[in-house]
């Protein structure tokens, strides 16, 4: 990994842009939640970390980003972000390989008030924010 863009997107050293499959984190404009999610990804996989990218059915999104489940050793980063409350489940068929696993992680995070669940950071889901359905907190 070369650079973290936000909580669910990063750039590789080889120039590829990667979007974590099956999850969605707050947008950078969703202050302060977007920055908190970005920091969580940085903590799990700092720049220079060797990652293993695992694809699903659709290899890229409409923006040309590589869609991947991202592993650091035996840790699935996508799942870790959801478990820790920094991302939510966001499946886009046909890429649903780990959907049930991510759903369980979200249920646990929400039940335990992990990350943004305790701070009401998911009162406005990232997908709703992108559609202009809610405003970012001051």
16 belongs to the catalytic site: no
CA angle 123, 38, 111 (to 5 degrees): 40
Question: DSSP string covering 10-41, please?
Answer: EE-TTS-EEEETTEE---TTSTTHHHHHHHHH
Catalytic, out of 13, 39, 65, 120:
65
52 belongs to the catalytic site: no
**How do strand 9-11 and strand 17-20 relate by DSSP bridges?**
antiparallel
CA distance 67 to 6: 15
Catalytic, out of 27, 38, 79, 84:
27
Alpha helices in the chain (DSSP H): 33-44, 77-83, 99-112, 126-130
Catalytic, out of 19, 38, 79, 84:
19
Residue pair 86/30 in contact by the 8 Å Cβ criterion: no
27 belongs to the catalytic site: yes
Residues noted as catalytic: 19, 27, 65
């Amino acid at each position: 990994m070369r650079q973290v863009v936000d909580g669910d997107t990063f750039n590789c050293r080889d120039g590829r842009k990667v979007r974590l499959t099956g999850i969605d984190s707050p947008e950078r404009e969703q202050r302060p939640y977007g920055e908190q999610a970005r920091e969580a990804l940085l903590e799990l996989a700092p720049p220079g970390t060797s990652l293993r990218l695992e694809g699903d059915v659709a290899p890229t999104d409409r923006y040309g980003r590589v869609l991947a489940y991202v592993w650091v050793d035996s840790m699935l980063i996508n799942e870790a972000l959801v478990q820790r409350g920094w991302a939510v489940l966001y499946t886009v068929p046909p890429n649903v390989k780990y959907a049930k696993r991510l759903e369980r992680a979200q249920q646990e995070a929400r039940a335990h008030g992990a990350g943004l669940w305790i701070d009401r950071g998911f009162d406005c889901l990232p997908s709703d924010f992108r559609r202009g359905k809610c405003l970012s907190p001051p």
